[in-house]
Amino acid sequence: MEYKLSDYKTEVHNDWCPGCGDFGILNSIQMSLSDLKIPPHDVALFSGIGCSGKTPHFIHTYGIHTLHGRVLPFAQGAKLSNPNLKIIAVGGDGDGLGIGSGHFVNAGRRNVNMTYIIYNNGVYGLTKGQAAPTLKLGMKTKSLPQPNMNDSINPISLAIISGFTFIARGYSYDIKHLKDVIKKGILHNGLSYIDVLQPCPTYNDINTKEWYQSYEIDKEDSSKKIPKIYKLDEENYNGFVSDENEIPHKISLAIEKSREWEKRIPIGIFYQNDKAITYEERIENRIENYLSNPPAKQIINDKEGYTIANIDNLLDKLKTV
């Protein structure tokens, strides 16, 4: 069956604020799945709590709306139960880098083959615009009575040192570029993290669409304009690991690039390591038939619902203890 873009859309009413960057991310995910021709029934989309948490309602795949900060454990569990599924987890910067930061770091240790997309707007958009972990120190958005007292998290650097093997950043209003980044993240064999910068037109009145898309005049040539957002591949940056000996150097380059924020903001792929063993492969090294007979595909009960598990061997061992 040939799947069309419309096959990945639902008729659920979308109540995001007009101008919200979530729309661009939603369209990019749908377009990515359509381009890759992945059957909707082979995709499971998980979300946390927040404006981004509504995403599974609008994409015609399996959708699971989970708990605040807990999207990664749910998503990883589904992938390990059924490795044949394409798993995409989504959540806001507060959901994933605030209450969910512990799961974020530990997910990197495992390298499960799935994709995690964070909607990064610097505020808690669903609960009246409090400062999220990515809001810069000293910034005062419209809903804050005083400037933000906390320093910000650098999600790209955090993903790198945590062990994610594909790390990228996109911008929600550049849908074509973001779609291509998401496609590469889905195709990557390992844990992919995609940080998506987006305006919150309701509560973040600093990092607006106009701010992201602004220009500076080149000091050496006044006829040239320097955009705030630029694409890494346009400046010949390459974060791809072709040899394991390159890993320290590539990590150092990616962290250095991730710090370019005050003057210019890079988007694109910061780091990609296809050499790392996945968690599924580690399991297969211990359980030979894991991939051919994963937990979700195993028959565990008869037609009447009774278990068919045979624990006689286990009982015999217990008797000898």
74-90 pLDDT, tens digit each: 999 999 999 999 999 99
pLDDT of residue 248: 95
* Angstrom distance (rounded) from CA 248 to CA 257: 14
- Give SS3 for 68: coil
pLDDT of residue 320: 73
Model confidence pLDDT, tens digit, residues 23-58 = 999 999 999 999 999 999 999 999 999 999 999 999
Task: Kindly state the tokens that stand for 54.
Answer: 């509504």
308 inside domain: no
What lies within 8 Å, CB to CB, of 173 at 6+ separation is: 21, 24, 198, 199, 209, 212, 213
Domain span at 218: 5-282
Averaged pLDDT, 57-70: 97
What is the CATH classification number for the domain harbouring 149? 3.40.50.970
Q: How would you classify residue 138: left for phi > 0, otherwise alpha for psi between -120 and 50, otherwise beta?
A: left
296 inside domain: no
156 inside domain: yes
Q: Which residue type is seen at 76?
A: Q
Could you tell me what percent of the chain has a pLDDT over 90? 86
pLDDT of residue 284: 96
Query: pTM value?
Result: 0.93
Q: How high is the mean pLDDT of the chain?
A: 94
> What is the total count of domains within the chain?
1
DSSP alpha helix (H) spans, 136-262: 155-162, 175-187, 209-212, 247-258
* pLDDT confidence tier of residue 321, bands split at 50, 70 and 90: low
What lies within 8 Å, CB to CB, of 255 at 6+ separation is: 156, 157, 160, 161
196 inside domain: yes
Q: Determine how β-strand 229-231 pairs with β-strand 225-227.
A: unpaired
**CA dihedral sign of residues 274, 279, 280, 286:** positive
211 inside domain: yes
295 inside domain: no
pLDDT of residue 224: 87
CA distances from 145 to 98, 204, 252 (A): 21, 13, 38
- State the DSSP H helix or E strand holding residue 318, giving kind and residue range, or none if neither: helix 312-320
pLDDT of residue 2: 86
pLDDT of residue 1: 76
Averaged pLDDT, 152-156: 96
* Angstrom distance (rounded) from CA 113 to CA 126: 30
Q: Which residue type is seen at 182?
A: I
pLDDT of residue 225: 87
278 inside domain: yes
Model confidence pLDDT, tens digit, residues 180-233 = 999 999 999 999 999 999 999 999 999 999 999 999 888 888 888 889 999 999
106 inside domain: yes
- State the DSSP H helix or E strand holding residue 32, giving kind and residue range, or none if neither: helix 22-36
